[in-house]
Chains A and B, each alone.
Chain A
Amino acid sequence: MSKIKKHIFTIIYSIALIIFTIFVMLHTFVIPEVGTVVEKEETTTTSTNSTITDSSYEDENISINISTIRKYDTDIYVVDIEVSSIEYLQTAFASSTFGRNITATTSTIASESNAILAINGDFYGFRSAGFVLRNGIIYRSTATSSTSEALVINSDGSLSSVVESESNLESLLSNGATQVLSFGPTLIQDSVYTVDSTSEVGQAMTSNPRTAIGMISPLHYVIIVSDGRTSESAGLTLYELATVFKSYGCTFAYNLDGGGSSTLWFNGKVINNPTSGSGISERKVSDILYVGY
């Protein structure tokens, strides 16, 4: 009894440390923090004259062509997209809700959004900082870090990137930004590589599944999703990813959330081989970037 009394502080502190650690892990990975619920406007425009195949979609406003190439020991899915207006390149949150740990698969969010084609976004809900501006509304204006770059989709259909710590989200919005996603880095800027063979996300120095978007010209985009972490596909480094964009004539390209999140969904089907955990399955993510009405 006296021994317990002697160590009472150690015992109480250790229990508190364990409880606190469990709380930190649950708060970070599990407990949902609901922010703003997005009211989606009823779609007024739809196409009645569309031609759809397994790898393409064509109507008067949207043109999509998917091709699969094999490079760098990896299956790479390349999507060529042309839209008549930036309103057809949209974003959506899981459960139409902005918040932390609110997730759904890319397929689920895409189906709920009536998307034609969708990719995973920046998984903003996994972090507590990083610009979030979606469909013209600011949800989070906290910069990630001094060097972090955000993708800006402008109302004229152009893509660009900004260093978050040197930018103001309100200014970006007033200058015509319709979407801002925070991941990066920028792969190509003004047709020049902005990454080299040593560049990586965080300190990931190996090849990985990737999701990224590039621009050939305003309203003409290229999306690249690569497999990886499987025996069939090694995955791409950021530099390899940038070279693929360059080969398609992109003047700008930006890396989105990759790894197990990388998913390409088209017309009701997942096209790539997402790796979540040990098998081929979709990881739940916070948000998607999609083409649709």
Chain B
Amino acid sequence: MLDIKNKKEIKYYIFLSILCTCINLIYSKFSHGVSSNYMTYLFLIPLIGGLIFLFIDKKKLKYNIYNLGIITLIIGSLIKGILEIAGTSSVFNIVYFIFGISLIIISIVKYIINLNK
């Protein structure tokens, strides 16, 4: 059952997902047929990330930290996609994924702790 309190967050994550789809579509117009899974499936990060708000109470989640984690993953995936399409890579790309996943884990751990309070 959809928690009406989280409607705003769900709308925000759906908007992010549409934005990611648009970025991929526009970028693919100029990439001479080269594609990257990191760019093609970029929209899945906010889409899956937003699913959590169907099931949890936002107040018990470290919402800002969770958002920052998702945004970090989106930017990391976008940069990885751009570099892959250009035919290169960066040793620093992993940093986005480490920070992004860490922030999400921290916020979820905090949520679990709050549940038990």
Contacts and interface: CB of A to CB of B under 8 A. Distances in A.
Nearest to B92: A24
Interface of B: 32-37, 64-65, 68, 71-72, 75, 79, 83-93, 95
A229 B93 CA distance: 30
B64 A7 contact: yes
A25 B89 CA distance: 10
A129 B71 CA distance: 29
A205 interface: yes
Contacts of B71: 17
A204 B35 CA distance: 6
A202 B89 CA distance: 12
A269 interface: no
B84 A202 contact: yes
A120 to B, nearest CB: 13
Interface residues of A, number: 29
13 contacts: A9-B64, A17-B68, A17-B71, A23-B92, A28-B88, A28-B90, A127-B87, A128-B89, A128-B91, A202-B36, A202-B85, A204-B33, A205-B35
B64 A10 contact: yes
A229 B32 contact: yes
A203 B75 contact: no
A202 B92 contact: no
B64 A206 contact: no
A24 B64 CA distance: 24
A21 interface: yes
B76 to A, nearest CB: 9
Closest CB pairs A-B (n = 7): A206-B33, A204-B34, A126-B88, A203-B35, A24-B92, A28-B90, A10-B64
Contacts of A7: 64
B38 to A, nearest CB: 11
